[in-house]
Amino acid sequence: MNKRMKWILGVIGIICILGVVAGFIIDKLEPASEEEEVAPPAEIESESTPVEETETPSTPQTIEDVFSDADNIEISEDNGELKVVVTYSAYITDKGLRDNMYERIRTTLGLRQDIDALNFQLKVPLKDASGNVEENVVMSYQLYEDRLAEINFDNLDGVDIPAIANILYLHPSFKD
C-alpha cells in the first residue's frame, strides 16, 4: 500500500469517527418527542389512614435475623453469657466479611444489652497445606461484663467493636 492510499484510508477513518460522535451528541441534545406520554401525577387520598409504627423489614429483631444468611447458627446462654457460633459453608475469608461481622456483633449487642458476656465465633471451611478442607474458627470475639458496662449503645459503631474486645482472635487468613 502506498502512502497516498494510507492517507485516504486515515481520512475516511477520522470522518467515520466524527460521524459517530456527532450522532451521539445530537441524540443527547435532541428534546424528547411530543409523542412520549408523561404519567399523570398520583392522586392524594383526602382521608388519612392510621399508619402502624413498625420497624423496617431490614432491621433485625432477633439474633437469628442478624445472621439469617448463615448456614448454621448456634445460640446459647448460660449464667448471663451469650454464646453465638455462626457457620458459613462457603470459603470466605476477607476484610469485607470481617468488617461485616463487626457490624453484626454491634447489632447483636444492641439487641441483647442485658447480657453479662458475649462469646462470638465465626466458622468457615479452610483448606490446609495438604489440600484438606475443614471447618475452622476464623474469628473469636469475647466481651466481658467490665467492658459491657462501659458501652454507650446509642453511639457504638461497628468499627469500634475490635477496640472494645476483651479477647479478639483472627485467623491469619482473616487479617488485613
Domains of the chain by residue range: 1-29, 63-174
Reported pTM:
0.63
Q: Measuring CA to CA, which residue among 161, 168, 145 is closest to residue 104?
A: 161
Residue type, 101: M
Tens digits of per-residue pLDDT, 53-105? 434 446 788 999 999 999 999 999 999 999 999 999 876 666 778 888 999 99
When the pLDDT of each residue in the chain is averaged and rounded to a whole number, the result is: 77
List the strands of the sheet with 72-78, edge to edge.
72-78, 81-87, 117-127, 133-143, 167-170
| CATH class, 63-174 region | alpha beta
Q: Which residue has the cell 451528541?
A: 25
Q: Measuring CA to CA, which residue among 73, 78, 134 is closest to residue 104?
A: 73
